[in-house]
Amino acid sequence: MLHIKCPHCGLRSQNEFSYGGDATVKRPELGKEISDKDWDNFVYNRKSLRGKHWELWQHLSGCRQWIKVQRDTATHEIFKTLKANEEIS
Amino acid sequence: MQKYSVFSLVKNALSNHENWDLAWKDPTPKKEYDVVIIGGGGHGLATAYYLAKEHNITNVAIIEKGWIGGGNVGRNTTIIRSNYMHDDNALFSEFGMDLWRRMSQDLNYNVMFSPRGIINLAHSDAQMNTYARRGNSMRLNGIDAVLLNREEVREIIPMADFSENVRFPIFGGLMQPSAGTARHDAVAWGYARQADDMGVDIIQNCEVIGFDVSAGKINGVRTSRGDIKAKKIGLCVAGSTNILAEKLNMTLPIETHLLQACVSEPVKPVLDKVVTFGAGHFYISQSDKGEMVMGGDLDGYNSYAQRGNLPTLQHVLTEGIAMMPFLSKLKMLRTWGGIMDMSMDGSPIIDKTHIEGLYLNCGWCYGGFKATPASGWTFAHTIAQDRVHELNAGYSLNRFNTGHLLDEKGLGTKTWIS
């Protein structure tokens, strides 16, 4: 069982959360010319790192906020959590 | 090579089974091979076997970080089927079904192929319509499909819950009678033994550290057991695809996720079909030892851990008990996990890459085991001829760029969402 520290609610069990994927993927800017390659990278291509991985989770059965979580994909250890609008340092 | 037969069994019994040949050797890697296959799982072993058998390329090495058959080929729920709707998936899988039917004879190794049939249960009128459509598509591609109504399903699997007040009543199901199961370890060992006999070097405990690429061409691979030169290299590493892709500066439409499976204590024969729950994600069959073999959803987050968490297991087994209430009486014998190379449309990739001599086989999601022979056969063809076969033409890497996705289940890019 993962225990995720929601920045709004505190430590909660994994059951309350749903997963949203890689948090470092940025949507190409609106209104700008986008190359096919950039669009591919945004929609399909993922690094899927082994080790520390920043990812989005939603506290679905709690405050319903999206949050950022830094988790090790090999050990499942969670290092840090951030609010959705906080930048990954 | 010693042929396995009743005569060799009797002969070796007379010497207390102490004189059997080794099934495969443990060679020291050579400096150079014609083809190096990275990954000694089912697909890698099958690829090497078909390279030797179909294309007469025997100067081949399989490089495996751990031991052969220790990854997903030994961790799946052994289901074999070709009940796909889209032509590319259907024709590829049905080609594989023919290879499965001949496999024990071809490999001189009993893979215990058991074409017992698979039933996908439907729990609404809408789902029955969808299954009718899929069944019709399958039949147009020469695959057997039978649409069953509620009573017909009840006759085949009376132990399922047919009571009136259930959340997901059984409306009927789609059956592929020729689908089934096989002994997964035997598949890996059978391919390994034949490949080894034809001259393939199976090199275990050999980790890939890097690649030697120059001027857009692959020249070799750097491993924990030394550098190995090869003009052609095939990647066949399932859940570890992204780790190797990073060493090649490639980013792929693949995410690695965790899938769990489990078996109950062995019980007397109760279920002679593979059955899947249609209102969630749960599948079950009974092994020859009597264990109920079960699996379902991904854990739902990126993972390389090869072990899962209890919430997903609980969720999956809740579906199982809803479908077959007697399961609640069984004790769990064993649970385990494997790491899946989840592609962004749910279909695999067997293709060349932008690097000359580098070939890619990945993206098998939940469906890798049943694809083992067809994947090996088409990947061997792709490597040997340096062009894709028509059977794997749809499994191209650039389909994500061109928009020719093979989205069998209509899940979109987040195939890990359950």
Least confident of A28-32, B105-109, B197-201, B371-375: A28-32
Quickly list H helices, B239-353: 241-247, 310-323
- Nearest residue in A to B299, CA atom: A19
pLDDT digits (tens, 9 = 90+) for B390-405: 999 999 999 999 999 9
Please answer yes or no on whether A1 and B243 come within 8 Å at the CB atom: no
Q: Which whole number is the average pLDDT over B295-302?
A: 94
Q: What's the rounded Cα separation, in Å, for the pair B159 and B329?
A: 13
Please answer yes or no on whether A49 and B242 come within 8 Å at the CB atom: yes
Residue B366 contacts residue B340 (beta carbons within 8 Å): yes
B200 Cβ under 8 Å from any chain A Cβ: no
Please answer yes or no on whether B253 and A46 come within 8 Å at the CB atom: yes
Give the percent of chain B with pLDDT over 90: 95
In the three-class reduction of DSSP (H, G, I as helix; E, B as strand; rest coil), residue B379 is classed as helix
Q: Quick one: pLDDT at residue A42?
A: 93
Residue A10 lies in a domain: yes
Residue A1 lies in a domain: yes
Q: Is residue B418 very low, low, confident or very high in pLDDT (cuts 50, 70, 90)?
A: low
Q: Quick one: pLDDT at residue B226?
A: 97
Full DSSP string of B53-67: HHH----EEEE-SS-
Please answer yes or no on whether B302 and A75 come within 8 Å at the CB atom: no
- Residue A87 scores a pLDDT above 80: yes
Q: Quick one: pLDDT at residue B366?
A: 87
Q: Is residue A35 very low, low, confident or very high in pLDDT (cuts 50, 70, 90)?
A: very high
pLDDT digits (tens, 9 = 90+) for B21-33: 999 999 999 999 9
Please answer yes or no on whether B252 and A45 come within 8 Å at the CB atom: yes
**Cα-flanking dihedrals φ and ψ of residue A29, to 5°?**
-60, 140
Report how many domains make up chain A: 1
In chain B, residues 271-310 whose CB comes closer than 8 Å to chain A: 300-305, 309-310
Q: What's the rounded Cα separation, in Å, for the pair A12 and B28?
A: 51
B315 Cβ under 8 Å from any chain A Cβ: no
- Nearest residue in A to B300, CA atom: A19
pLDDT digits (tens, 9 = 90+) for B344-381: 999 999 999 999 999 999 999 989 999 999 999 999 99
CATH of the domain at A7: 3.30.2270.10
B252 Cβ under 8 Å from any chain A Cβ: yes
Q: Quick one: pLDDT at residue B411?
A: 77
Q: Is residue B310 very low, low, confident or very high in pLDDT (cuts 50, 70, 90)?
A: very high
> Who among B254, B311, B413 is closest to A48 (CB)?
B254
* The pair of three-digit structure tokens given for residue A30, joined into one six-digit string: 């609106």
Residue A42 lies in a domain: no
Residue A71 lies in a domain: yes
Site from A50, A57, A69, A71 to mutate, B interface, most B CB atoms within 10 angstroms:
A50
- Residue A89 scores a pLDDT above 90: no
> Who among B243, B309, B344 is closest to A1 (CB)?
B309
Residue A67 lies in a domain: yes
Residue A45 lies in a domain: no
Spatial neighbors of B108 by CB under 8 A, at least 6 apart, are B3, B4, B190, B194
Residue A9 lies in a domain: yes
pLDDT digits (tens, 9 = 90+) for B154-176: 999 999 999 988 999 999 999 99
Q: How far is CA B307 from CA A8, B46, B303, B304, B337, in A?
A: 29, 26, 9, 8, 4
> Who among A19, A48, A55 is closest to B242 (CB)?
A48
Angle (CA) B384-B387-B389 rounded to 5° is 95
Q: What is the largest CA-CA distance in chain A?
A: 44
Q: What is the DSSP letter of B73?
A: G
Please answer yes or no on whether B300 and A45 come within 8 Å at the CB atom: no
Residues of chain A contacting residue B310, judged by C-beta atoms under 8 Å apart: 1
Complex ipTM over 0.85: yes
Residues of chain B contacting residue A36, judged by C-beta atoms under 8 Å apart: 401
Spatial neighbors of B88 by CB under 8 A, at least 6 apart, are B347, B393, B394, B395, B406
Residue B321 contacts residue B344 (beta carbons within 8 Å): no
Q: Is residue B64 very low, low, confident or very high in pLDDT (cuts 50, 70, 90)?
A: very high
- Residue A81 scores a pLDDT above 70: yes
pTM for this entry: 0.96
Domain housing A87: 1-25+51-89
Q: Quick one: pLDDT at residue B46?
A: 98
Up-side HSE of residue B181: CA atoms within 13 Å toward CB? 23
